[in-house]
Amino acid sequence: MKLWSETNNTEDWVYQHTTSDRTFDEKLAPFDIIGSIAHLTMLRKCNFVRAKEFEVMKGELIKLYNESLEEDFQIPRDVEDIHSYVELCLTDRLGKVGKKLHTARSRNDQVLLDIKLYIRNEIEEIIGRMDGLFHKLMELSRKYEYTFMPGYTHGQVAMPSSFGLWFSAYAEQLAEDLIEFHSAFQLSNMNPLGSGSGYGSTFNIDREITTSLLGFESMHFNVVGAQLSRGKTEILTANALAFMATTLSRFANDCCLFLSQNFGFISLSDEITTGSSIMPHKKNPDVFELLRAKLNRLKALPNEIFMYTTNLTTGYSRDFQLTKHSLFPAIDDLKASLDTFTKVLDHIRVNEHLIDDKRYREVFSVNRIKHYTEEGMPFREAYHKVSSEISEGKYSPDYKMASSTIGHIGNMCFDGIENKYEHYRKRFFFRKIKKCVQELTEI
């Protein structure tokens, strides 16, 4: 059903080609309805709908909202999009009063609002999953704070490290990934509703009402500017996804390497490895390899969305529709990856006897240099002396690992990392948003 067509002359194949977003619109359904309730409330306060009309329309919208949360919710195949579906449902259930819902708005500001509400919600879900992974990493960091692990540079054995240092490094990276997500959250937390098709409305509406009702921090004041934010919100979100994907893909790659027999730093329980069809001894880390591949794919996402939005003029263009095709599945992939990492960490076993391996004796060469410098020898002379000891077979390692230096083994600043995470975490006002949604959808 083509609610918005003036005529029925559009070819069916054109119609099918340009309305292929049903799956994505079903994801947007709860947000479209929340936006409609806020818009309806504003229309009532501005006297565009009567009190009785408002009550029955809001009641039906709340019913429809609850329906949209069900797993089997679907938009009928003959309905153009979620915006059309909501209005058609109201019209079917209430008669022509349902047609008043679209007063003073356009599908352009509707979909822009829906995407911002959706992204804002998805960021909350992503960070909720980050919490679990972050705390699991910190738990492992404390458990293995002093468990030796050789550090590498250029792929070569370098200096002493520990599993606690390794795990907490990725925990701190997650804390810093919150910075990018906050940028995306800030732009998604601005109200575009009321910008219409990009040039405002001749109706005397109150945009501050919907801004407050929907828990937005601010609005896009300029109506043209509001529409120009389409694409930018998605790009900032894509950047945040790619930023975190960089952290997680590197961790996955470490795990793949450290699980190999030549390293043997960690092992996985049998139930989460796969075997070989020909080699009975194999235990393959497929879970980390697939995570690495999926996360590496996410790194290309910002450029993909940049290319959709390149060289577009002021005002809406249908090109923006394709951003959903890239962004929405990427968000799902990142959420699934975070869940998987958190579960897999329960199955990781650390090799606590690596320090006994003679291959890593020279990792402690800097300790030997430090010993000579403490006796008064200049660093450069101490460096050459230890180098000569190694080449002549006279080197004797000093296995001391701990140091008082900030961020080093013995002073890993676990509290500082946790405080950093909480500091950035508190910048997101999810409770306020949830309260606003709850108030809008209460009967």
pLDDT at 315: 75
pLDDT at 106: 87
CA 50/CA 54 separation, integer angstroms: 6
pLDDT at 277: 53
pLDDT at 278: 66
pLDDT at 15: 47
Place of tokens 């998805």: 122
CA 366/CA 386 separation, integer angstroms: 8
pLDDT in tens, 140-151: 999 999 999 999
CA 112/CA 166 separation, integer angstroms: 41
Residue 57 in contact with residue 94, Cβ under 8 Å?
Answer: yes
pTM of the predicted protein model: 0.90
Q: Structural domain boundaries of the chain?
A: 12-103, 115-356+413-441
Residue 430 in contact with residue 182, Cβ under 8 Å?
Answer: no
CA 13/CA 25 separation, integer angstroms: 20
What CATH number should be reported for the domain whose range is 12-103?
Answer: 1.10.275.10
Which residues touch 396 (CB under 8 Å, ≥6 apart)?
368, 389
Residues of the chain scoring pLDDT < 70: 1-20, 272-282
pLDDT at 19: 53
Residue 80 in contact with residue 127, Cβ under 8 Å?
Answer: no
Quickly name the fold that domain 115-356+413-441 has: Fumarase C; Chain A, domain 2 (1.20.200)
